Amino acid sequence: MRLLIATTNPDKLREIRGLLQHLPVEVLSLRDFAAVEEPDESGTTFEENARLKAFYYDAAVAHPTALVQCGPLLTVAEDSGLVVDALDGEPGVRSARYLRPDASYPERFAEIQRRLATRPSAPRTARFVCAVAVVQAGMLVYEATGVVEGEIAPAARGTHGFGYDPVFYYPPYEQTLGETTEEEKQRVAHRGRAFRKLAEWLEKCRTENKGLSSVL
């Protein structure tokens, strides 16, 4: 089973490999193929952007590669980010480009805290969302979403994880996701939840030999 994970982000790829390591799959990334331009992530929801990226990279990378190598690929794309209720859902689908594409995460943390400070009575509730879409030969064959609920911490804490993890406080752990271990994070985090659903679907397809027999 060959999966193209449509990302060049090494942190995301490391997490995803760990979540799928129990399956008999070969996990590839965009770095394993000739570079192509990134698609315009014009969707207004995480689900729309995940589908958009999956269809784009299936057509631009996976399908041509499969024709050459005589082995089809499943293209797996995800879109994820932080949703802050008091900021009307921002940064949302713009999480990776919040403020500007080259902004550092400490800069983004500071902007979120600055904006929340202007709304002191508003709740600091927030959530991480991850949407996954799987495309094979131009067809959408699977979708899943994972969500974890939490709050924006008063200040960034922890050096683990990446992205917005240090400002995302998870009440059951009484820690930010930047303070948890990798194993603790993956038990509850949005990407872990979404990709465990994908793993269950892949295993079901493999054992039942349904629908994706040419791949599985």
Tokens of 139: 């067809």
Q: How far is CA 119 from CA 100, 112, 123, 166, in A?
A: 23, 11, 9, 21
Catalytic residue among 40, 79, 85, 102: 79
Whether 79 is catalytic: yes
What phi and psi, each to the nearest 5 degrees, are found at residue 74?
Answer: -95, 130
Helix (H) / strand (E) containing 80: strand 74-84
What phi and psi, each to the nearest 5 degrees, are found at residue 131?
Answer: -110, 135
Task: Return the bridge partners of 75, or none.
Answer: 4, 135
Positions marked active-site: 79
